[in-house]
Structure 1
């Protein structure tokens, strides 16, 4: 593999995928979306790999979608939503045990991507946020589906509407994160998990994943479609324009429900 925005490494039965745009806190642009999709698609055919670690380079897991690219016109919404839906579907159905290793920010689309994994392990000081609401948008990357899976319908709505930036500790308490560790200790913890998995019946674990996830796949696909339709509508709202202006001007947005 020759990816630029992601790095791929395989050691035995374990693959590590590293989001590799550290200067932008691993913001997910069109190139990264495509490379993630291509990587996950290839992994579907690499049967010797049974465990996948997903992590971020530098100071964060991922700050989310590339808002600067959106502002500059470099992020085409139609292309982005198609690519996001593709890699999300491929990640959710990946016949491997997937561990999201979170430090720093996991926000917006970055959080949706982490939640598509089987385990989310985060440092207690991580900043966890489903914060699309801050720029007048709705979650994408299956964010509605994954929040509902982990929190239930009512709590998922409330968390999405609040757009709160939570510590890893709080995110673990409400169920968005599976395990928390001290700052700087997430890599060691995930490696200890991988070591335990090396003595586990991984084929049986993966078969259970297939049975449960394939049953939910039609719902995920429906939500991905509705997110695409909804995001297009939100991009034309006055609130979204105000959210973008506020982001650029580094101030609190003044939304009017329009």
Structure 2
């Protein structure tokens, strides 16, 4: 049914796997649309109460697919892509399930936005977590500004966005960005154990509390997504963005000029 993700339902538990391991689960336009479709389908599925999100292969997700951004034969339609990014962020935040992100390897850029949108985040100690859009002259999208602010507040959100700092599991936990750190190779095991614990709890009331808390913030998230979309379309036209992606592909340090 899906080309880039896999959704498996096991009773009241569902497992969503980002499944482009050959590309470090980098999100191309197809994956962004499929993630939005999956989350929107789960919004009406009352049989599922817990969702684990994980990545296939050696990493969770390297973020947006930069190679697709510069492919001259199949140029990315940024306006179209941003619609899907907004859909997936909004649907994820309003899911009537408790969401668990199991992070191994990298969770960068849009991959990190996806992680931060989850209710419970477990990361392996040597994972690499970064809101690193700044490296290619872009702004966080997928609700990245909103989810960061919810976790750590505005002052620290700005610093993390502006620096693009790469953090391991322990550093991210110390900043309040995630909920737990486990040894390498143990994130999915821990996520499954936490899911089992949730399913043995009065989870209907937990989901009701999530809905009460999130409902108050929906309009704010929608406004953030609108502003992120507008900013991203504008940033894609800057010289700094072009320099950033060329430097990335050429494996050199970018020389930004503020334009």
> Same fold judged by TM-score > 0.5?
yes
The aligned counterpart of 1:251 is 252
Aligned residue in 2 for 1:113: 114
Contact 1:6 1:35 in 2 (8 A): yes
The separation in 2 between residues aligned to 1:198 and 1:154, in whole angstroms, is 36
Q: Does the 8 Å CA contact 2:146/2:224 hold for their aligned counterparts?
A: yes
2:214 aligned with 1:205: no
After the TM superposition, which residues 1-258 of structure 1 pair with which residues of structure 2 at under 5 Å, given as runs? Answer: 2-72=1-71, 73-258=74-259
CA contact (8 A) 2:102 2:188 kept: yes
Report the alpha carbon displacement of residue 75 of structure 1 after superposing the two structures with TM.
2.2
Structure 1 gap ranges (5+)? none
Unmatched segments (≥5 aa) in structure 2: none
Contact between 2:89 and 2:143, CA under 8 Å: does it hold in 1? yes
Give the root-mean-square deviation of aligned CA atoms.
0.8
Q: Deviations over 1:187-215 (max 9, x none)?
A: 11111111111210110000001011110
Which runs of at least 4 in structure 1 moved beyond 3 Å after TM superposition? none
What is the Cα deviation at residue 245 of structure 1? Answer: 1.1
Measure the CA separation in 2 of the matches of 1:194 and 1:43: 17
Q: Which moved more, 1:186-195 or 1:138-147?
A: 186-195
2:217 is paired with a residue of what secondary structure? Answer: helix
Count the aligned residue pairs: 257
CA contact (8 A) 2:123 2:182 kept: yes
Residues 66 and 75 in structure 1, CA contact (< 8 A), matched pair in contact too: no
TM-score by length of 1: 0.98
The CA deviation string for residues 18-39 of structure 1, in whole angstroms up to 9 with x for no partner, is: 0000011001111111111111
Is this contact kept in 1: 2:54–2:188, CA < 8 A? Answer: no
Distance between the aligned counterparts of 1:213 and 1:242, measured in 2? 38
Q: Is the 8 A contact 1:121 1:186 kept in 2?
A: yes
C-alpha separation between the residues in 2 aligned to 1:240 and 1:109?
16
With the length of structure 2 as denominator, give the TM-score of the two structures: 0.98
The separation in 1 between residues aligned to 2:223 and 2:230, in whole angstroms, is 11
Partners of 1:74 and 1:110 in 2: how far apart?
A: 21
Q: Separation in 2 of the partners of 1:198 and 1:95?
A: 14
Q: Tell me the distance in 2 between the aligned counterparts of 1:219 and 1:208.
A: 19
